[in-house]
Amino acid sequence: MTAIIQTIDTPDGPFTILADDEQRVLASGWTSDRDAILARLAPVRRPRTVTEGRTEAAEAAAAYYDGDLAAIDTVAVAQAGTALQVAGWAALRTIAPGAPLTYTGFAAALDNPRAVRAAAAICARNAPALFVPCHRVLRSDGSLGGFAWGLAVKESLLAREATAAAA
């Protein structure tokens, strides 16, 4: 498989997007380190060839940062995992900006309220960050919990979405 990689500047730092030849996002995150982006994918899912280029998803990410929070909602992604993971990643895309869920609430949304650890693992294994907004899931006490790209980025994203939702 051949993939395209693009890094854009955002208020939260460099944001890199890895997309396949169909422009589906395979992985993304707040770094300019191409190896860090590739490491988000299982070795079997890593593209053989990666070239720098333009991704359609970069336009959506820029629009998100310009205030159009819905711009990321229709960006195509390509994720492979267990049935629960795939369902979880789809469910993450339904969490409205400014209305985060707790891991407990996310597990309940998956019709498996006792699977809180599995819900957290789904978030941790989410490769196309931002486009599949795992940052919208918090610990049961409302604290941030973890985030592959750092808690400062997660906090910034949540604050941006809360402000926009309140407006």
Q: What strands, in cross-sheet order, belong to the sheet with 49-52?
A: 25-29, 13-20, 2-10, 49-52
What is the three-state SS of 1-22? CEEEEEEEEECCEEEEEEEECC
Q: State the catalytic residue, choosing from 27, 107, 119, 134.
A: 134
123 given a catalytic annotation: no
Q: Provide the token pair at 152.
A: 């400062």
Strands (E), the chain: 2-10, 13-20, 25-29, 49-52, 101-102, 137-138
Closest CA to 82 of 110, 102, 57: 110
Closest CA to 133 of 35, 53, 64: 64
Contact between residue 97 and residue 136 where contact means Cβ atoms under 8 Å apart = yes
Contact between residue 23 and residue 53 where contact means Cβ atoms under 8 Å apart = no
Which residues are annotated as catalytic? 134
